[in-house]
Amino acid sequence: MNKLKILIAAAEVVPFAKSGGLADVVGALPKALRKLGHDVRVVMPRYYIVDRDKYDLKPMEGSLGVPMGVIGEEWAGVYEGVLPGSDVPIYFIEHERYFGRKGLYDENGIAFSDNDNRFIFLSRAAMQLAKKLHFKPDIIHANDWHTAAMPIFLNTVYAQDPDFERTASVLSIHNLQHQGKFYKGAMDVLGIGWEHFTEDELEEYDGINLLKGGIVHSNAINAVSQKYADEIRTSEFGWGLEGLISHHGTKLFGILNGVDYEEWNPSLDTLIPFNYDMHKMAGKKICKLELQKTFNLPHRQDVPVIGLVGRLADQKGISLLAEAIGGLLEMDIQIVLLGTGEKWAERFFSHIASTYPDKFGTYIGYKNDLAHQIEAGSDFFLMPSLFEPCGLNQIYSLRYGTLPIVRATGGLDDTIENYQPYTGKGDGFKFYEASAEALYGTVKWAVDTYYNDKKGMKQLVKNAMKKQFSWEVASKSYEEMYRYSITQRFGVSMERN
Ligand code: ADP
Ligand code: GLC
């Protein structure tokens, strides 16, 4: 089978910079594609937090010229490294004014006012870098609104460029809520001509919508689960783009994310107190005890511990949790929460922790090792999301034998099978309605199962730990989508060696 040259760009990539699952995906998918024999290159910004020494990043010779419309040509430095554990090259676009900041997108929750320029710059720099490297990609793969300008550039400023004459484009939508909407003046920075400022392309309510333009101009789009691909065609989940997405439905894919089981695996994990696996579960008890110690909770093996890790954003159902928390804490349970995000939520959950010190532990902040320890030390993992394109934590939880309690939306519905007490089937607990009552009722069901149905619990844990969501499988679906996009663009298959 012919091998492809693939250029993937994203705003965040594990382990260099991460705020959520996008980074996990872009840190893992390229490695899996490489294993299939493809020539994959990754591009991201060199934020202030990207540690050049730790990852042995080397400066590339010369600077990269990046045309920025009316701003004129800007110059970027480029650092080169590899994705750890692979030979996949990753390039970091260095530009002090755009990326030499602490935050990726914001400071203290306030979005940077020049995010349009920053990510137009990243998208254009990725294209320019391909030229500088003489890479001539078969596929450019953009991720979310941050790099959605790449397929737009391909069809406009690079339409006649021989370096891209065999290139097709793919856009992954990890989260449709964020679309990159800006003042229309950004058209002049894109430099593609105002004829593209129409409601069929980039215009929306007299402003510019980068994701919309990306959807229109890509040859294939991927929503990160089949259910989410279906949901975003509806007004409930489409954030105003449902009509456009339905219109482009034939090029819409729903490939579920995989998991990097080298990083998220209780038998290998170096960040948890004790390793364990399906056949030797004793280590999980030690992890539970250590977790209780970390959060100053009573050291009890007999009480169910429910973990939560994630961005404290509306998407994650934190308002449902806030509403239900009083009732939940009447049960004999412990809850541990790790997260950062909306200020009201940070304050609210910190207050709950100080009111119920024996039942509720919280860490407000971002802490990777603690995320692993919560996966390992909890009995249940709660994700009451209002919408969830894929969701990775529930998939990690399965592998750690920590039963997910989820709202049946997007990838949560696709990955978790509800417990059926009579057959012993299932690997978690699901609720459907987005309400505090439904959340409460389902946690209660899980807690009752913990206390009164030990056999059922054992079976559930076994089922969960057996489940596989590897990138090996998902990357093959990406391969198919890439080939589809080539056919869609050129009418015939244009792959080459
Ligand atoms: P999303 O991308 O919407 O945030 P996902 O479930 O896909 O949701 O991925 C979230 C990822 O970010 C997981 O790897 C999770 O462990 C990590 N994460 C989120 N918040 C934190 C935090 N406060 N500390 C450490 N890791 C976090
Ligand atoms: C987004 C989504 C999340 C998904 C992740 C990776 O941030 O919110 O559900 O798992 O991207 O695709």
Structural contact between residues 130 and 165, judged by C-beta atoms closer than 8 angstroms: no
Structure confidence at residue 69 (pLDDT): 98
Residue 93 Cα to ligand 1 middle (Å): 24
Q: Is the CB of 258 under 6 A from ligand 2?
A: no
Q: Is the CB of 389 under 6 A from ligand 2?
A: yes
Mean pLDDT of 132-145: 98
The amino acid that residue 34 corresponds to is: R
Alpha helices in 234-317 (DSSP H): 242-247, 282-294
Residue 312 Cα to ligand 1 middle (Å): 10
Q: Which of 390, 409, 469 to mutate to test the pocket of ligand 2 (most atoms within 8 A of CB)?
A: 390
Instruction: Report how far residue 79's alpha carbon sits from residue 390's, in angstroms, rounded to the nearest whole number.
Output: 31
Could you tell me the strand order of the sheet in which 305-312 lies? 360-364, 334-341, 305-312, 380-383, 403-407, 429-431
Mean pLDDT of the chain: 97
Report CA 307 to chain centroid distance, whole Å. Answer: 19
Domain extent listing, the chain: 5-258+471-490, 282-466
Tens of pLDDT, residue by residue over 35-79, are 999 999 999 999 999 999 999 999 999 999 999 999 999 999 999
Higher pLDDT, 109 or 452: 452
Structure confidence at residue 2 (pLDDT): 82
Is 282-466 in the same CATH topology as 5-258+471-490? yes
Residue 495 has pLDDT above 60, yes or no: no
Residue whose Cα lies nearest atom 20 of ligand 1: it is 310
Q: Is the CB of 144 under 6 A from ligand 2?
A: no
Fold of 282-466: Rossmann fold (3.40.50)
Residue 238 has pLDDT above 50, yes or no: yes
Structural contact between residues 5 and 39, judged by C-beta atoms closer than 8 angstroms: yes
Instruction: Find the Cα–Cα–Cα–Cα dihedral 327, 330, 331, 336, rounded to 10°.
Output: 80
Q: What count of other Cβ atoms lies within 10 Å of the Cβ of residue 459?
A: 18
Fold of 5-258+471-490: Rossmann fold (3.40.50)
Q: Is the CB of 273 under 6 A from ligand 2?
A: no
Residue 26 Cα to ligand 1 middle (Å): 14
Closest by CA position to 93, among listed 131, 71, 63, 136: 63
Q: Is the CB of 22 under 6 A from ligand 2?
A: yes
**Atom nearest to 338 CA in ligand 1:** 23
Structure confidence at residue 109 (pLDDT): 83
Q: Is the CB of 300 under 6 A from ligand 1?
A: no
Q: Is the CB of 367 under 6 A from ligand 1?
A: yes
Q: Is the CB of 10 under 6 A from ligand 2?
A: no
Structure confidence at residue 1 (pLDDT): 52
Residues of the chain with pLDDT > 70: what percent? 99
Alpha helices in 310-421 (DSSP H): 318-328, 343-355, 368-377, 393-399, 410-415
Closest by CA position to 475, among listed 264, 261, 258, 260: 258
Residue whose Cα lies nearest atom 4 of ligand 1: it is 20
**Atom nearest to 410 CA in ligand 2:** 9
pTM as predicted: 0.96
Residue 488 has pLDDT above 80, yes or no: yes
Closest by CA position to 141, among listed 41, 225, 288: 41
Structure confidence at residue 493 (pLDDT): 54
Structural contact between residues 320 and 308, judged by C-beta atoms closer than 8 angstroms: no
Structure confidence at residue 48 (pLDDT): 94
Residue 24 Cα to ligand 2 middle (Å): 9
**Atom nearest to 224 CA in ligand 2:** 12
